[in-house]
Each structure stands twice: as structure tokens, then as C-alpha cells.
Amino acid sequence: MSKQRLSRKFWNPIVKNLSPYTPGEQPLNNDYIKLNTNENPTGPSPQVKAAIIATLKNKGSVLRLYPEAENENLKKSIAQSLNIGVNQIFIGNGSDEVLAFCFQALFAGRGTLALPEITYSFYPSLARLFEIEMKLIALANDFTFNLNDLGSNIKSVIFANPNATTGIAMKKKYIQDFLIKNPNLLTIVDEAYVDFGAQTCVPLVKKFKNILVTQTFSKSRGLAGMRLGFAVGDINLIAALNRVKNSFNTYPVDRLASAAGIASLNDKEWFNLNKKMIIENRQFLIEKLSSLGFKVLPSCGNFVLTSHLQINAVKIFKHLKENKILVRYFENSKIKNWIRISIGTKKECITLLKNLESIVNKL
């Protein structure tokens, strides 16, 4: 105890009060079926690997040189694929980093931030890091939330769409109406899972100055290990993010990640087939889980949140882990009897279902 106190004496007071985000377990060995961190079950497009090798072989862009300061080429690719301006894009080392820049540049020091009571738990961690006051938006019994009764005094709002952990998506029109009614409130929509069946709000950034959208290459493009994410928004919002980035680390995205991102965006065929596979497997998993007595939320993500009517979630989590299948369990009281399962390959889904069936059959 005294030893611990001693070791903290140089800590900044904010650091003492942090509660950092805990990601899902990454086992060191490969003998688990990993359905706990919403990674893509296949690798990225084969063109990504080719592009990385080509970059290493290209003398003009060897690793001894710093990357392009503004990731111009990757920005061009993103701009083209989303049909927006190059100057409306901000690229970072994973969307977690992009979100951190957003919190610091656009939320901190501006008053209360509203966020759903159940969502990506990185948001409250970042809010504490940047000392931002939070107001939680209550979830209804069906796990949806209403943007229209935020109360007064809210300066910003952030949510994931589809929402993290639940998978439930809101319509673009609903978000657009909210933007129109709240011109002085900044809204950030985290679209980490949008490619799996939700409507993107990217087109809204052309018309509205009070919305920023973030996306990632980690989930639908199978590049979680590369760390690549971005934000799109009005040029004034992007300028604020650049100011923070350039006061902190001018080159967050390395040359290999840039090349990987461009190659990934170019391979539309891989992207569409992979997406289709995951959506089909999700449908298959939802049907089978329901027939085993599980309640499953209607997911637009590459995961489902599910709860068995008679079996405790912790028991299911432990049983699966003993059988080398990792899923995600959250201690949050509202979802303490639920588990989140990432959508794997068809084979992984079948193995998971066999294991769940054996628990259910013991009832």
C-alpha cells in the first residue's frame, strides 16, 4: 500500500482518477476462436499485402523517410470512395486516436457532453482524460435511445451508429432532423460498424457544419492490426483536429498503413463479398440462437448482443472459454446478463452454436 502511494507521487492528479478502457482479451496463442473484439474473421483484401510489399520495395518511399505529412494520397482515395472533399477528411492511427483528437479539440472545455448510457466505453474514458462533464442518455427497454430529450445545457453529443454493444442503428433521417433542430450542438457519429447494414451519415457533412463522422478500417476492412481510422466533417472541424494532431504527433499514420488503406479502398470486390458473408452469417447466427432460446437484439453490426432466457451470461461466457471460444462479457449492470458475440466465419458460427447447444441441452 505505502509502496503504491510512493510510486504515484509524481502522477498528474488527472491520471490518478482515470479509469482506462479495457479492450477484449487478445490471447497470445492462436488456439481460440476469437469472437470477442469484433475483428473481421478473414484477413484484409490480398491486395493490401501486395501493396505493403510494394511499398517496402519502392526506393522512393522507403521507411527511412517520414510519411506524407497530411496523408494526401490516402485522403484522395477516401474522398473518392465517399464522394466528399479531400479537405473534409482527417486521418489517424485507428479511429480510437481520431476520437481522442475529437474529444480534445472539440469537446473539452466546451461544457457537457451527452452520450448513451450503453455505448462504446472508450467515450467515458476519454471524457475523464480530458475532464469533460458527461450526461448519460437513458436507454429504453428495447435498448434504443431518444436524441430528442437531451435536456438543456448540452454542448455536444456522441454515439455510435450502429450503437456499440447493442448493434441497433438509427436512421439517417432521424439524425438529420436532430442536426436541423440543434445547430449549436456538435454531434459526432462513430460509424465503426456502418458497413454491415446501417445508413451512413457521411452525406450530411456536406450540408451541416455541426456533425463529424468517424469510420475505421479495423472492422469491415479487416485491418485492426494496421491501426487506421478517419473523421469526415466540415473543414472548420477538420482544422481543429489538425491543430491538435500537429501539436502532438505530425505523423501518426505510417507509410505501410497508408499504402494498405489505399489498396483496401481500391478492392471493392473483396469489400462487398466480405460484407455480404458477414451479413449472411449474422442472419444465420440470429436464427439459430433464437431457436436455442436466446433473445437477440436486431444488429446492424458484425456482432450480436444476446441473452438466454434461463442461463446466466457469466456461465455461458465461462463455458465457451473453457471450450476455446472467446466472446465478450461486460460487467455493466444493464447488460450483465448479456454476451456479445462477434460474427465469425460460417465454420466458427457452427462450432459456437454446437457449444451453446450443449449448454442448453443440460437444462
Ligand X SMILES: *Cc1c(COP(=O)(O)O)cnc(C)c1O
Part in contact with ligand X (CB under 6 A); list of ranges 91-99, 109-117, 174-182, 318-326:
91-99
User: Where do the DSSP E strands lie in 253-354?
Assistant: 294-296, 303-308, 325-326, 328-329, 339-342
44, 229, 233, 252: which one contacts ligand X (CB under 6 A)? 229
88, 112, 187, 216: which one contacts ligand X (CB under 6 A)? 216
Closer residue to ligand X (CB): 178 or 193: 193
Part in contact with ligand X (CB under 6 A); list of ranges 28-36, 89-97, 174-182, 255-263:
89-97
By CB under 6 A, residue 129 contacts ligand X? no
Closer residue to ligand X (CB): 88 or 216: 216
Burial class (CB in 10 A: 0-12, 13-18, 19+), 200: middle
Q: How far apart are CA 212 and CA 333, in angstroms?
A: 30
96, 195, 234, 348: which one contacts ligand X (CB under 6 A)? 96
- Footprint of ligand X on 25-84 (CB under 6 A): 38
Burial class (CB in 10 A: 0-12, 13-18, 19+), 340: buried
Closer residue to ligand X (CB): 223 or 356: 223
By CB under 6 A, residue 355 contacts ligand X? no
Part in contact with ligand X (CB under 6 A); list of ranges 59-67, 94-102, 307-315, 339-347:
94-102
Asked if 160 contacts 193 with a C-beta cutoff of 8 angstroms, the reply is yes
> Residue 216 CB, nearest distance to ligand X (Å)?
3
Q: How far apart are the first and last CA of the chain?
A: 46
Part in contact with ligand X (CB under 6 A); list of ranges 81-89, 92-100, 130-138, 197-205:
92-100
Closer residue to ligand X (CB): 308 or 338: 338
On the question of a cis peptide bond just before residue 162, with omega within 30 degrees of 0, the verdict is yes
> Residue 58 CB, nearest distance to ligand X (Å)?
26
Helix (H) / strand (E) containing 115: strand 112-116
Grid coordinates representing 11 are 502522477
Part in contact with ligand X (CB under 6 A); list of ranges 14-22, 216-224, 283-291, 346-354:
216-224
Q: How far apart are CA 14 and CA 130, in angstroms?
A: 9
40, 161, 218, 299: which one contacts ligand X (CB under 6 A)? 218
Q: Is 18 left (phi over 0), alpha (psi -120 to 50) or beta?
A: beta
Q: How far apart are CA 208 and CA 210, in angstroms?
A: 6
95, 161, 264, 274: which one contacts ligand X (CB under 6 A)? 95
By CB under 6 A, residue 192 contacts ligand X? yes
By CB under 6 A, residue 120 contacts ligand X? yes
Closer residue to ligand X (CB): 70 or 97: 97
Q: How far apart are CA 301 and CA 109, in angstroms?
A: 33
Burial class (CB in 10 A: 0-12, 13-18, 19+), 198: buried
> Residue 217 CB, nearest distance to ligand X (Å)?
7
Instruction: Count the site residues for ligand X by CB under 6 A.
Output: 13
Asked if 196 contacts 162 with a C-beta cutoff of 8 angstroms, the reply is yes
Where does this chain bind ligand X (CB under 6 A)?
A: 38, 94-96, 120, 160, 164, 190, 192, 216, 218, 224, 229
